[in-house]
Amino acid sequence: MIIVHGIIPLRADTRDQALAMARRMAEATQTEPGCIAYEFYVGLGDPNRLLLFQEWESMEALMAHFETPHMDEFMRELPHVVAGEIQTRRFAVQTVDDERETSAVAPPRVIH
Segment 4-35, tens digit of pLDDT: 999 999 999 999 999 999 999 999 999 999 99
- Reported as a single tens digit per residue, the pLDDT across 60-89 is 999 999 999 999 999 999 999 999 999 999
- Tell me how far apart the alpha carbons of residues 97 and 90 are, in angstroms, rounded to a whole number: 22
Q: Where do the structural domains in the chain lie, given as residue ranges?
A: 2-93
Q: Which CATH class is domain 2-93?
A: alpha beta
Give CA torsion, residues 67, 68, 74, 79, to 10 deg.
10
With 80 as the cut, is the pLDDT of residue 97 above it?
no
Cα angle at 25 between 36 and 72, to 5 degrees?
110
